[in-house]
Structures are given as C-alpha cells and as structure tokens.
Amino acid sequence: MHELNITDIHRQFKAGSLSVVELTRYYLEQIEVHHELGAVITVNPEAITIAESLDKTFSEDQSLSPLFGIPVLLKDNIDTQDKMPNTAGSLLLKAHFPTRDADIVSRLRKAGAVILGKANLSEWANFRSNHSVSGWSAMGGQTRNPYDTSRSPCGSSAGSAVAVTANLTALAVGTETDGSVVCPAALTGIVGIKPTHGTISSEGIIPIAHSQDIAGPMARNVTDAVSLLEVMRNETSNFSEHLRQDGLEGKTIGIVANQMGYHPNTDLVFHQAILDLAKAGAKITQCKLPHLKEISKLEYQVMLYEFKTDIANYLKTSSLPYSTLSDLIAANQTHAADEFPYFGQDLFVEAQSKGGLDDAEYKVALEASKRLSGPEGIDATLDACGADILIAPTMNPAWKIDTVMGDHATGGASMVPAVSGYPHITLPMGFVEGLPVGLSMFSRKDSESILIEAAYAYEQLTQHRRPPPLRIK
C-alpha cells in the first residue's frame, strides 16, 4: 500500500483485494510506527467505524464517489464535529470541541473520505511570533522532515505535508495565509495547491487574515491533489479534464528573475526545470515582479489588523473561555512554561495594539497590497513579458531545526500569489543533497486550469517524486 494513489486504491476496492478498513488500519499503523516525525496530533477514534460503514455501503451498491474510502488528514485548525479537538496546536484550545464540521469537512464526508485525524502545525498557523520554529506546537511538539529528521518541514502545514510524503495518509488538507501550503509541500517533496482566494470556504477554520486565508490540497501527485481540490471547492469544477500530458505545449512560461538566488544549488535544479519545460513544448521568457518590498510591508499590517478581529469572531462561535485576542495573550502568560520554551507571542501583542477594520491605516494597506500584488503585480508582469504562467523555485532546501535562532528561510515565491489571492501550485523539481526542492507555478486569478495543465505535463515528463528513506511496516 506504500505510495498508492487514488486510482490504485479504487482499482483494488473494485477488485476486492483491499477494503477501506484495511487501508485505514494501514495508515493508522504507519502513524504509530513513525510517531517520531511528530506529524499527527490526534487520531480520529471513529476512523475505523467510518471505514466499516463505507465498506458496507460499497458491498451494497459498488459505486465509488470521488474520494470514496480515501483517508484524509486535516490540519489541526479545521473544525470537525466529532471526538477530536481543534487546537491550532495551542494548549489553550486542547478542550475545544466544535459543534459543527467546517464546510470543507462536510464536503469531504459527502465525497466518501475517511477523516483520519488532525495533523500537527506551526502553532497558531505560524502567527504567534516572528521568532517561531516551523512545525512546532505546544500540543504536538516538533514536526520533522522525513528526508532528514534534523531538518525543518517548513510551516505552517508541516504535519499535513510530512504525513503525505511519509505515507501516513493518502491525502491531507493544509491552510495558507502566505506560504503555509506551498513551503512545506516543496520541502517534503509533494504537490501543494493554494487555490484562488474565495473559491474554497474558510468557514470553520481558525483564522489569521480573512483576505488571504484559504485551505489547499496536499498530495503525492498532481492527479490526487486535483481530485481533492475538486471536492473542496465552493463551485462545481472539472479540473481533471486538464490533466493533459501535452499541457505545456504552446504555453509561454515566464521566469521570475528576481525570485531566484535563495540557494545556489536550488538555482541549478531550477535551470534544469527550465530546460525540461522547454523540452515539453513551452516557450521560455524572462520576467520580473515589481513592488516586492512594498507588498511585504503592507501585507504585514493587513495580517495584524485582520488577525485581531478575525480571531475574536472565531472565538465567539466557540464555547472556549476566551472571546478576544487579549484573553489569549493573558492565558498564554499563565501557561508560559509550556507555551514559551522557544519563543514568545510578539505577533499577538503587536496585533492587539492595532485598531479595528475601519481604521484608515488598515484600509489603505489592504487596497494597496491587493493592487500592487494583483493588477499591478502578477497581471502586469504576465502582460509585460507575454507569459501565461510565472515560475520560480518555491523555497530554499530545508534548514536545520534551530530552537535558539528560529527558522532560516532565505527566500520564497509565495508572497505575491498569497497577497493577490491568485492560485499557486508547487510540485517536486528535484533534490539538493537528498533534500527535495519545489517548482512554483502561479498566474492570474482563477487560472487553476492552465496551472494544472502545466504542472501535470511537467510531472509526467520528469517524475521527480521520490519517497523519503523511512522503514516501511
């Protein structure tokens, strides 16, 4: 069952050589075997019961819904109405049992998925401190990169990415405000899709900033990621028809020249990717994204303002003994010994100092950030260099986990598509000294179709995916 994809799983279901219960048990066993990776906070105590019910359903009518019997892990900031808390990795939320499924969870259940459990994450989705350690939470401890367990998986959807690449689940759901799907996907050698903002409901997800937050699929291949994306979306879509081996023919690919240089050997792998894209029929051109420093400063202000308001709105829907960000700050101080072993809550404190969403500073920052990243950013760049898609290395290779100095990211391609709300796909591009690195593809709003065509064609040509060197039970 190692490295099985959805097509293989469904084929075995139909042949009678595999049941949903057997598949679910396999992944539950792998989670236990590889507990040292710190990828999973909570296993769903109802997973086997759900699997048994699905096996019974299949024996009666032999039909397969899109994700029938497919185990899916959820990042532990997504509400589920069952026996699993939704903690955001914080001890403050360890008794937080939502009374409703998040919208995307309802869609997954309807599609026949088995909710396997909750994945570890960078606590509060990496929005508690500027000095955080990616993949660490007080609830789940440190998530580790299975290609080298001394190295970071990046964040904040660290557990989701590690569980997928280590074959602890078939699929996982991550969330992203800026980089939290694509960075861990790139550093663990899988596919991550950050969809166009607003096309997937954020209802029932612990927020950072409503103008950028979105959930995204994480999988070992483009096909499975697209299958999960179709189920998660608000609208009916048929992205599967864009899984074309000739998907790069006739497309103009723009190299974002000022989003390189994160690491010299990553650039060497990226140059080979450019040759492969041209080999598959793409025209290559040089581009440059403007306004990067301005966008970064504006985005920071927007996130501070929105977090203060958005987290209060979320808390009011819960039965937790907190109703404001100020309450969380005070409670963290009470639990400082467990919550602050490596870093504090400077982002919480800075967000608390902001006013409401009617403040002029917020309104100006929001408008400018969207304009500079979207119409005057990605759109203008595509027009200027005559490209259909922009590409860059997603991130530098995984750095050593460092609880003293924090993360050591040297650059990444996530910010502009994150702030604009435009779609972004990362997929395996190769390896740097045994560590995966990812290729980022992004384009205009609602351009998932052409990105999927390009990503699938590149994947089929190169086949860079290689599982980590873990023991298999």
Positions annotated as catalytic residues are 75, 156, 180
Contact 44, 116 (CB under 8 A): yes
What are the b/e assignments for 337-355, b being 16+ CB within 10 Å?
A: eebeebbbbebbeebbebe
Contact 239, 111 (CB under 8 A): no
Which segments within 189-247 are labelled E, that is strand? 191-194, 214-219
Distance CA 407, CA 396 (A): 12
The two structure tokens encoding residue 5:
């994809």
Distance CA 37, CA 141 (A): 10
CA distances from 202 to 34, 72, 215 (A): 31, 18, 7
Radius of gyration (C-alpha) of the chain in whole angstroms: 21
Contact 253, 283 (CB under 8 A): yes
Name the residue with tokens 């040509």.
461
Contact 118, 45 (CB under 8 A): no
The two structure tokens encoding residue 29:
């066993």
Tell me the residue type at 290: P
With 0-12 / 13-18 / 19 or more C-beta atoms within 10 angstroms meaning exposed / middle / buried, residue 70 is: buried
For residue 40, what are the β-bridge partners? 119
Is the link from the previous residue into 156 a cis peptide, with omega within 30 of 0?
yes
Tell me the residue type at 140: G
DSSP string covering 237-267, please? --GGGG--TTTTTT-EEEEEGGG--S-HHHH
How many helices, marked H, and strands, marked E, lie in the chain?
Answer: 17, 13
Distance CA 144, CA 41 (A): 13
Distance CA 45, CA 24 (A): 12
Q: Give the three-state DSSP class for 373.
A: helix
Distance CA 464, CA 471 (A): 20
DSSP string covering 53-115, please? HHHHHHHHH----TTTT-EEEEETTB--SSS----TT-GGGTT---SS--HHHHHHHHTT-EE
What are the b/e assignments for 229-238, b being 16+ CB within 10 Å?
A: bbbbbeeebe
